[in-house]
Structure 1
Amino acid sequence: MITHPASKYIPFKPFARDFSERTWPSKRIETPPIWMSTDLRDGNQSLIEPMSVARKLRYFDMLVNIGFKEIEVGFPSASQTDFDFVRTLIDENRIPDDVTIICLTQSRQDLIERTVEAMAGAKTAMIHLYNACAPAFRKIVFKMSKDEVRQLAVNGTKMIKEAIKAQPGTKWRYEYSPEVFSTTEPEVALDVCNAVVEAWNPSPEDPIVLNLPATVEATTPNLYADQIEWMHNNLARRDSILISLHPHNDRGTAVAAAEFGVMAGADRVEGCLFGNGERTGNVCLVTLALNLYTQGVHPGLDFSDIDAIRLCAEECNQIPVHPRHPYAGDLVFTAFSGSHQDAIKKGFVLQKADEPWEIPYLPIDPADLGRSYDAVIRVNSQSGKGGVSYLLEQEHGLVLPRRLQIEFSRAIQRVTEETGKEVTPEAVYSIFESEYLDTKGPWKLITHTISSAPKDEDGNQRVSIELTVKVNGEERHLKGAGEGALAAFINALDMPIKVMDYTEHAIGSGIDTKAATYIETRIADNQSGFGVGIHQDILTSTFKAILSAVNRHELAKRAEAECA
């Protein structure tokens, strides 16, 4: 129980007055932002065991294959492993010509020179300078005034300009972050950023990146968007600036903050795959990109094999992706709930390949991410008829009538409630098989012979049948006649069987086609129940379905007698 008063926490207010000029709430994201992956820097710093060079190389190759054109590869002035990794990328010519590598540094001469040394020789390299500007950091960490914070950023910018002159073979770009922008007074952030822009002197053809991070997410995402729009409207030389976002997830709203920030005028987003990063993590680039995709905007990143990407990230980071993680988790396309399963099943029936995606509960086609439909519906004690019948149809081509779906779902529920566990597709069919196809009941069809008399004047045809069956292991020969083969078969059994419903369909095609027959019967005055038969011959499948119903009836009577 929380014992301290909540009033000890003072809400951060980015503006002294309400920012009433906002226009971003009416905007829509119609083109993707520039994506920058910071998995190999910010994400790597967050790991209990940072990646080795070999793991970083594997991760870098994955990011390139996904389509990232800007990748922050490390903090080489602070880590020998990062320095060696950056040199390996350059010396082994592993960086595609259209990919920019980025390295972070603080505003110190020795660190800047070490960073330039690490990146020298790359075709295109971006140096990323940062310093904290928020009041708590000015007061507690650095004991600096606002002017001193601004001057530190300007001095670092000038040192970088001077240091890169010795490496003219590389196209150098520049990124500056007023760290903890999220809790910095907007006027202070604007002052520092304008001073840095003036010191760097960018152009529309070669813009500077101003990264405005929610280093600590401290407000609702709409207020972060207000801050971004205010900067967008007030920065000098805006045409020579790319505004970048770097949302962390302290409040759990990083995705919303990033989306709102892009609506508010940002051009670029930094983050990590699956939301890795310091403390509660960076914004998840997978979620952001696929959110765009579900709105009809291609993100320019390729997540068509999401399972392989997730596996690489898990192995390199040694952090599992949560099974309910948006789009990528093992269970995000899985429905256990009966009502969900029923809606999804109906959606698949109506969905056409050339029409817009419209499946209840599935905002994205799993196939677009390389996911199969096998795991969309899984069965446990919460499942209903829709999920069970979907699995039988997908795996075995059995299209159960609605009333049979209801009846069989009770058999599944008995198993799931007894075990408390999920039932696999294989187990579902095994239960169906023992319940309807191989009932262990007393009756078994051996052979049958049918003969037909000519049709009478009313068009009816009398059919005669001779059967060989086994009843409790004893072979019997039976005869019957009736108007049609089914009636003749029932008459041969000499049992009070009434057919309530009859459904059949083909399974497969060509010479391997089988017939599936579902017959609902009422035997004497008992409750109706289904029998199922499957055979290459449609009449044989019908007769097997009748005996399936008879066997289930006999087994139910036996069970009642034992209970009594």
Structure 2
Amino acid sequence: MSYNKYKKYSGVKLTNRQWPNKQIEKAPIWCSVDLRDGNQALPTPMNVEEKLKMFKLLVDLGFKEIEVGFPAASNTEYTFIRTLIEEGLIPDDVTIQVLTQSRDHLIEKTFECLRGAKSAIVHLYNSTSTLQRRVVFNKTMKEIIEIAVHGAKLFNKLSKKYPETNFTFEYSPESFTGTELEYALDICNEVLKVWEPTPSRKAIINLPATVEMSTPNVYADQIEWFCNNISNRNSVIISLHTHNDRGTATAASELGLLAGADRVEGTLFGNGERTGNLDIITLGMNLYSQGVDAKLDFSNLNNIVGIYEQCTKMTVHERHPYAGKLVYAAFSGSHQDAIRKGLLAMKEGENQYWEVPYLPIDPHDVGREYEEIIRINSQSGKGGTAYIMESEYGFILPKAMHQEFGAVVKDKSDSLGIELTPKQIFGLFKEQYLDKKEPYKLKNYEIQSVQDVETEENTVNIQAVIAVEGVDRRIKGVGNGPLDAFFNALHINHIINCKFVSYYEHALDGGSHSRAVSYIQIENNNKKYFGVGISENIDTASLNALISAINRCE
């Protein structure tokens, strides 16, 4: 790779820059350009029906400014915009935006298309970049300014022809990041002289990174310098329109807002030319995750993804921030364990803020479910398996059991080469702990309890029938409780020769007929094994748990 064929992008000589010390305290003015910039980037552009569906989605999400097309570009664009206006589909609090180059016939058709609209932003642009002036247009700086000023004057003239519409004018020096900074300022100031904006009737100056050419901090320097030097700043809305050629459109827009910008143009999921536009969902959710009201409703991301994919025929990447299918999934064992503990702490505590390791937001905020968080495969750890068993099936496995059953799950996933579903994990649990009936099976038992009132000692006698490799055997034993008596009976009859290690139990269901689940750990030949038993009778659950553990060590 011949890296020396490329040159570094020049920085901005900006002394006493202020943006690094600032924080974003409020949402910007949002403008969706999905129906124009996003649409022109599709291999198969949306038809009118798909555009109407996308427009409704954008309105439902809370966008108050929506760029609906380039009406002079095609009949489809023109027809769609006329449909919105003539059928009264534009809410009173939503302003549509249209785009036009600075060419007379295009501008005239654009204004004609807007007749009858209550309010509209008309967006004028022409390319100002050093490179395009030289290799595309072969024009001087003065000639490029004349093109922009001519278009601005025509805006003034034609807007008077449609007095029923409240017009806002927007100008973009296209390829702003490829334009000399002072020259970009000059051309914008010349356009503003024509429009004469006021604080009550502001103009929009849009500064696009049509091609992302620098690190985000340089773009922020450009925006701060521009905000500090533009004439009549209180009558101008500074807008950002970043592309993602370097993969940092979101960062560039965030830093641009710190640098003084008021407005952001972008698309859902970053759909746009080449590597895409700014992804408004990512930027909006970034604000939301910092406690800033983004003024957009992303509470049902699954629905947004579905409509977007249906209309655009594009797909949302599984690792897309906030919206990807795998975003709330943890494959790493240590991540799974930390998430499980974090969720438990949130449930038991009185936290003012959301604080769960590896989850910057609560998945429920965007319409996702907790069962999607833990995913089990050969890379998973004991924490994830324990979380699935508790959250999906109500089994609160003893901590010492996490590693044992986690290893079983990992081995199965590794052998199959797939991720295991909760249902498959529970199937393994049943196979390992609940369904092992060989070589021993408890068939029935009878308990007699003798309480010595004077010594307060309790003696329990048990008689039980167990099947040993299909043959019934009757055994007897004595202990201080049913489990102790049964354990002693098994020893006396030389059925087992192991140590009792631990016992845990909890209710598995609610109500008067709730089942109990018991977990028993034994040690045999220096190895430890867990067994599990379930019954409405706690004694039956405990005895079956012991038999389960014995069968597992055979």
Q: Same fold (TM over 0.5)?
A: yes
Query: 1:528 is paired with a residue of what secondary structure?
Result: strand
What pairs with 1:488-507 in structure 2 (closer than 5 Å)? 488-494=485-491, 495-507=496-508
Among 319, 331, 355, the alignment partner of 2:326 is 331
Partner of 1:540: 540
Cα drift, residue 417 of structure 1: 1.2
Instruction: Name the counterpart of 1:561.
Output: none
TM-score under structure 1 length normalisation: 0.95
Contact 1:44–1:51, Cα closer than 8 Å, also in 2: yes
Aligned counterpart in structure 2 of residue 364 of structure 1, from 345, 361, 386: 361
2:358 counterpart SS class: coil
Q: Which residue of 1 aligns with 2:371?
A: 374
Paired with 1:458 and 1:487, the residues of 2 have a C-alpha distance of 19
Which residue number corresponds to residue 445 of structure 1? 442
Quote the offset at 1:468 in angstroms: 2.4
What's the offset of the Cα at 1:458? Answer: 3.5
CA apart distance, 1:531: 0.6
| Alignment counterpart, residue 169 of structure 2, candidates 165, 174, 178 | 174
1:295 to 290, 299, 319: 290
Supply the distance in 2 between the matched residues of 1:92 and 1:70 (Cα, whole angstroms): 19
- Structure 2 residue aligned with 1:245: 240
Aligned residues: 548
Name segments (4+ residues, structure 1) moved above 3 Å: none
2:549 corresponds to: 549
| Equivalent AA in structure 2 for residue 551 of structure 1 | N
Question: Structure 1 residue aligned with 2:148, among 135, 148, 153?
Answer: 153
- Confirm or deny that 1:415 pairs with 2:412: yes
Q: Bigger shift: 143-152 or 36-45?
A: 143-152
Matches of residues 115-264 of structure 1 in structure 2 within 5 Å?
115-264=110-259
Conserved 8 A contact 1:490-1:497: no
CA distance in 1, matches of 2:334, 2:119: 54
Counterpart AA for 2:505: E
Deviation per residue, 1:216-243 (Å, 9 max, x gap): 0001100000000011000001010000
- Give the drift of 1:116: 1.1
Q: Is 1:387 equivalent to 2:384 in the alignment?
A: yes
Please give the per-residue CA displacement for 1:336-369, whole angstroms capped at 9, x wherever unaligned.
0001001111101101465310000000110100
8 Å contact from structure 1 (residues 205, 240) kept in 2: yes
Structure 2 unaligned spans of 5+: none
Do the aligned partners of residues 353 and 83 (structure 1) sit closer, same or farther apart at CA in structure 2, a change above 3 Å counting? Answer: farther
Q: Assess if the C-alpha contact under 8 Å between 1:518 and 1:533 holds in 2.
A: yes
Percent of aligned pairs with the same residue? 50
Which stretch shows the higher mean deviation, 250-259 or 531-540?
531-540
Amino acid at match of 1:528: K
Tell me how far apart the structure 2 counterparts of residues 24 and 318 of structure 1 sit (CA, whole Å): 39
1:275 paired to 2:270: yes
Worse-superposed segment, 409-418 or 258-267:
409-418
The CA deviation at 1:457 is 3.9
Q: Aligned residue for 1:285?
A: 280
How far does residue 14 in structure 1 lie from its aligned partner after superposition? 4.7
Secondary structure, in 3 states, of the residue corresponding to 2:303?
Answer: helix
Tell me whether 1:476 sits opposite 2:473 in the alignment. Answer: yes
Distance in 1 (alpha carbons) for counterparts of 2:84 and 2:190: 33
Q: Distance in 1 between matches of 2:337 and 2:423?
A: 20
In structure 2, the residue matched to 1:13 is: 10
Give the conservation status (yes or no) of the 8 Å contact 1:441–1:552: no
Find the partner of 1:463 among 456, 460, 465: 460
Question: 2:518: which partner in 1?
Answer: 517
SS of the residue corresponding to residue 377 of structure 2 reads coil
- Residue 562 (structure 1) aligns with: none
Deviation of 1:12 after TM superposition, in Å, equals 2.1
3-state SS of paired residue (2:25): coil
**Contact 1:70/1:102, CA 8 A, preserved across alignment:** yes
Given the alignment, which residue of 393, 412, 416 partners 1:396? 393
State the shift of 1:414 in Å. Answer: 1.1
Deviation digits for residues 77-124 of structure 1 (CA, Å, limit 9, x no counterpart): 001111111011111101000000001001111111111121111111
C-alpha displacement of 1:436: 0.5
The alpha-carbon deviation at position 456 of structure 1 amounts to: 5.8
1:306-345 alignment, distance < 5 Å: 306-345=301-340
TM-score (norm 2): 0.97
| CA distance in structure 2 between the aligned counterparts of 1:57 and 1:23, rounded to whole angstroms | 42
State the shift of 1:512 in Å. 4.1
Are the counterparts in 2 of residues 14 and 186 from structure 1 also a CA contact under 8 Å?
no
- Paired residue for 2:430, among 430, 433, 439? 433
Structure 1 residue 478 displacement after superposition: 2.2
- In structure 2, the partner of 1:560 is none
Residue 499 of structure 1, CA deviation: 1.4
Matched AA of 1:120: R
The code of the aligned residue for 2:424 comes to A
Mark the runs of 5 or more structure 1 residues left unpaired by the alignment. Answer: 555-564
Are the counterparts in 2 of residues 464 and 482 from structure 1 also a CA contact under 8 Å? yes
Q: How far off its partner does 1:423 sit?
A: 0.6
Deviations 1:142-169 (A, max 9, x none): 1111111111111101111111222111
Q: Deviations over 1:297-330 (max 9, x none)?
A: 0100000001100111111111110000000000
1:552 CA displacement: 0.6
Amino acid at match of 1:502: Y
Residue 202 of structure 1 and its aligned partner are, at CA, apart by 1.0
Q: Distance in 2 between matches of 1:526 and 1:31?
A: 62
Distance apart, 1:475 and its partner CA: 2.6
